[in-house]
Amino acid sequence: MSTRVPISIEGNLVADPDYGESQNGTKFAKFTVAVTDRKLEDGKWVDGDTQYHRTTVFGRTAENVRASLAKGDTVIVNGNLEFRHWTDQATGEPRAATEVVADSVGPSLRYTTAEVTRRGPKADGLDASASASGPVAGASGPAGIGIA
């Protein structure tokens, strides 16, 4: 049995993403995002509990993750949190797991800048290294997204 709940998370990749291809040829990327709550106590920010979210993304987005993201990068993930329940065949014990099936993944710009290489027609007459306020700072990575 599986239940899906929309979710949006921001956190850090705990390791480089793993990549693969399904039997039908669909590319996928799997990675874990660590999300740590922070709270203000006595005028100081204190780290709370850390949650680890196993995440899978498919298709072109998986290819972009492969070319753009690595361990330690802060990312924003939008998708569905899936809850699965089953009975272990060997022990008869009930089991449960959660996984985020991502629709989109990107670098967080909260604490850094990124340079984006646009594919296709230029948007609003801007070139790949410019924004409405001027050039975007940051070093370019293999897929055109660099995190500085």
pLDDT tens per residue, range 64-115: 999 999 999 999 999 999 998 899 999 999 999 999 999 999 999 888 887 7
Report the sign of the C-alpha dihedral through residues 109, 111, 112, 113, in that order: positive
Residue 32: pLDDT band (50, 70, 90) is very high
Rounded Cα gap, residues 89 and 69, in angstroms:
37
> Structure pTM?
0.72
- Contact predicate 128/117, CB 8 Å: yes
User: Pick from 65, 66, 79, 137: which is nearest to 107 by CA?
Assistant: 65
Where, residue-wise, is CATH 2.40.50.140 in the chain?
Answer: 2-108
Q: Are 67 and 142 in contact (CB under 8 A)?
A: yes
Residue 1 pLDDT level (bands cut at 50, 70, 90):
low
Fold of 2-108: OB fold (Dihydrolipoamide Acetyltransferase, E2P) (2.40.50)
